Amino acid sequence: MRPAHIISVTASISIALANGAAAQSPVRFPSGPVPYRQVAAPSTILFQPDGGTGPWSVVVLLPTCGGVNAATYDWAGRLVRAGRMALVLDSYTPRNVQNNCQGADALVTQRHMADDTAAALAWLRTLPMVKPDRFAVVGFSLGGMTGIKLSAGSLQRRLTPAIVGLRAVAAFYPGCGTSEPFAPARWTEFYDWGGDVTTPLMLFLGAKDDESPPRFCTDKADRARSRGQPVSYKVYEDTTHAFDFAMLGSREFRKPLGNRGTATYRYNQASTEASAAALLAFLAGYLA
């Protein structure tokens, strides 16, 4: 089926706050929500459930370094069918970046994505159909790494505007570390979680992920949990990076990783369905 195209109407580039400050972001937020459907071109779009007037909780979706794609919209559809609003947040197109897969040297940084998320939540709180204190962030790969950083209360307070109402964060196949013994400092910062986790965080990892090996995430998660931080994770067997990319069908995709060789992507329907059920259950515990 050919995806339908949706044109978003710009509300504002900056969100005025009650105290006079503004969250500057190049993201052009839509004038309001629309019914769910797949979209032909990447854009920032807010979807709402069919029927009713809300108010609803909102889940912000942060894409991989490759940008918003069909898998992103698939997740939006799952969330909408579960009775939540879903904001697909595109940080790349407004900055004229199509490929943001340069790791620590990427043009659109995790901080850019965090700033855009803060601006998005400020905008969402102005909408009458939105519950102003019931937000979650779900990120994928680079978007998941941004989500992990956003789970730290220290970053939430440093952003302008400060993040308010973020109740849960989920990260799918994020990068959490590197095995390179002499990695530059910027790579250490790239993989760093950014502080103590204060917002409940759940990680969804693939046991056969050769782009973002899960052991780095599970090690950090176990250390955080030992300090009483609200972190949990699931590791899916026979599952690669980008295991939710249904558009791959039965094909394998191999991504060059420079001196690290190549990464393999395979769609895994069972892991996708299991992780979707686990994600919805996780969110239900915090967005009621």
pLDDT, tens digit (0-9, with 9 covering 90-100), for 126-146: 999 999 999 999 999 999 999
- φ and ψ at residue 162, rounded to 5 degrees: -65, 145
Could you tell me the pLDDT band of residue 58, with boundaries at 50, 70 and 90? very high
Classify 97 as helix, strand or coil. coil
pLDDT confidence tier of residue 94, bands split at 50, 70 and 90 = very high
Asked if pLDDT for residue 100 goes beyond 50, the answer is: yes
pLDDT attached to residue 4 = 34
Cα–Cα distance, 160 to 158 (Å, whole number):
7
With contact defined as beta carbons under 8 Å apart, do 174 and 139 qualify? yes
How wide is the angle at C-alpha 61 spanned by C-alphas 183 and 116, nearest 5°?
70
Determine which of 36-50, 55-69, 152-166, 203-217 has the lowest per-residue pLDDT on average: 36-50
Average pLDDT, the chain: 90
For the chain, how many residues are written? 288
pLDDT at 2 over 80: no
- The more confidently predicted of residues 282 and 23 is 282
> What domains does the chain contain, in order, with CATH numbers?
14-235+275-284 (3.40.50.1820)
**Which residue did the predictor score with more confidence, 16 or 84?**
84
Q: What share of the chain is helix, strand, coil (3-state, %, to 5)?
A: 30, 25, 45
- pLDDT score of 74 more than 80: yes
pTM of the model: 0.92
Q: What is the pLDDT of residue 13?
A: 35
